[in-house]
Amino acid sequence: MQKQRAYIAHHGPELLDSGTTRFRLWAPDARSVSLIVVGAQTLPMTANEDGWYSIDAPYGAGTLYRFLIDDELQVPDPASRAQAGDVHAPSLVVDTSSNYLWRNPNWLGRPWEETVLYEMHVGLYGGFAAMEKHLADLAELGVTAIELMPIAEFPGDRNWGYDGVLPYAPEAAYGSPEELKHLIDTAHGLGLMVFLDVVYNHFGPDGNYLGRYAKHFFRHDQQTPWGDGIDFRRREVRDFFIDNTLMWLLDYRFDGLRFDAVHAIPDRSFLTELAERVHASVEPGRHVHLVLENEDNRASLLTAGFTAQWNDDGHNVLHALLTDESQGYYADYHQDATTKLARFLGEGFIYQGQNNRRGEARGEPSGHLPPTSFVLFLQNHDQTGNRAFGERLVSLADVDALRAATAVLLLSPMVPLLFMGEEWGARQPFLFFTSHHGELADAVREGRRNEFAEFAEFADEATRERIPDPNALSTFEDSRPDFTARQEPGHAEWYALYRELLSIRHREIVPRLQGARFLESRVLAQAAVLSRWQLGDGSRLRLELNLGTQGAPLPTASISGELLFASREATHAHDQLAPRMARLYLEKAT
């Protein structure tokens, strides 16, 4: 008999025993649905209440199948657990709950305070199996959690993953479900948590057939950047995504999920229900973390079952100060940047209800939240890959200023996230890539280039033609980090810095993080601030940061404390902070 699941899966195939599978499809707009078993027979499915079709068929794990809609259209299962190829290929019955013998079955994860995230693109590593070879090095560096960019089945074999159309199926080009589980199991054996980026705000443009037989999966009165919004008012739709969350966490034993762009999911009750279901379903004592990306800075969600949010505000103001860039959304941070830097370090979000450059109010108060509610980063897939040429920060910023910002990233009480290759100062770009074909490929190429038309340096069409074609194989290959470079001159120094800072973090910061809170943050001079945090054991962490080009005066009152790290040698008097410098002190509780 099939091992009992820890949750009820409403969508997708269910193995009833080794030779019988229950197939089901929510298709309220279909007149008829049949099951096509590849190499065998076509079986009419029974119409049930509320638009459901189902059949118990004498086929087990490994069966290839499709659904036939109205005797005219063959489609994959939208809740396919694996595909026999690309998104248009047959779906595959998979025994997701008991087909893998876990080597670390007692792994319960790690407390959030211990988290050091490392964002990775599976395809650039060569797939699930090839990625395993890099895990030991990451653990040795001081990383405690890897975060995979989306792996849900997408069209073609090269994609960032945000064009996924079959959310339950791991991308076939990356490997099998068993290889994914082996990757996660190996990570757990090294003490690494594994997070997954999931996309619940839209489906990709190629391979999504839901609109044909389940039109009310979407709502035409609500638009997103990707088209009609998803109708989370419907029970079937909510279950589709909540069950997907539970599958990743319970069947695959991911330690956490990062939810992409939830500002495009206006139904807050769906998000809170999802968090409630997760916390009610995981086994006692297990650490599972739910992290948001949310441009709305909705701080209240961080007291409603969600662990933390990516802090775009923090990244954006640091980036503006490091590069002096002011176009696009950096305009919201370039003006009065020092005051905004102080607010970010002293309260988490910068926009807490203030108007942005478009005159729109954004955000909710966040200073009451613990600093660990915010995931801080200097680079990630968006902030690097959404640049026209995918330049990394090491190519854009002054080296001393970047060292100072790196100290903030890794020693502040916020949770740090690194982007693959960042720790050795990788200079290979990270570009936007897909593997679409025909008219869609042309539309994506032109759309990508037109995104930059409002930027002065790309006003000329000929200049925009230089932006790499997302569909070219070379765009993908050019984005692959050189994993052998970290010991080379110019890279080894960065690697040593990251290793040193992470060692300090785990020794001095992490044991004191639980119960940490914001204390104060004040402006010292242009691009210079002094910030302090109360740590959980009563000690205090003090940051003196100067990203400017002039020395900054320090308060005259002497403050004791142990110097944890200085990003460069001081060249000014004791009451001055040198340009492009960070110092962190620990004032231990008496």
Paired residues of 194 in beta bridges: 146
Quick check: is 360 catalytic? no
The distance of Cα 308 from the centroid of its chain, to the nearest Å, equals: 12
Burial environment of residue 186 by CB neighbours within 10 A (0 to 12, 13 to 18, 19 or more): buried
Q: What is the DSSP string of 306-331?
A: --EEE-HHHHHHHHHHHH---SGGGH
Residue linked to tokens 């478009």: 358
Strands 308-310 and 374-377: parallel
Q: Is 525 within 8 Å of 545 (Cβ atoms)?
A: no
Rounded to 5°, the CA angle 250-253-256 comes to 95
Quick check: is 293 catalytic? yes
User: What is the rounded radius of gyration, in angstroms, for the C-alpha atoms of the chain?
Assistant: 25
- The single residue of 206, 293, 382, 423 carrying the catalytic annotation is 293
- The single residue of 14, 206, 260, 544 carrying the catalytic annotation is 260
Round to whole Å and give the CA distance between 11 and 168: 10
Residues 6+ apart with CB under 8 A from 106: none
Q: DSSP letter for 456, please.
A: G
Residues 6+ apart with CB under 8 A from 241: 167, 200, 232, 270, 274
173-176 contacts, C-beta under 8 A, 24 or more apart? 173/123, 173/127, 174/122, 174/123, 174/127, 174/128, 175/127, 175/128, 175/129, 176/82, 176/128
Angle formed by the axes of helices 235-246 and 268-281, to 10°? 40
The CA-based diameter of the chain, rounded to the nearest angstrom, is 84
Q: How far is the CA of 248 from the CAs of 244, 302, 353, in angstroms?
A: 6, 21, 34
Round to whole Å and give the CA distance between 120 and 103: 23
Q: Is 34 within 8 Å of 14 (Cβ atoms)?
A: no
Q: Is 456 within 8 Å of 462 (Cβ atoms)?
A: no
Q: How far is the CA of 500 from the CAs of 141, 407, 423, in angstroms?
A: 9, 10, 11
Residue linked to tokens 């895990």: 135
Tell me the one-letter amino acid at 575: D
Q: Is 455 within 8 Å of 467 (Cβ atoms)?
A: no
Nearest CA to 428 out of 492, 489, 482, 387 is that of 482
Catalytic residues: 260, 293
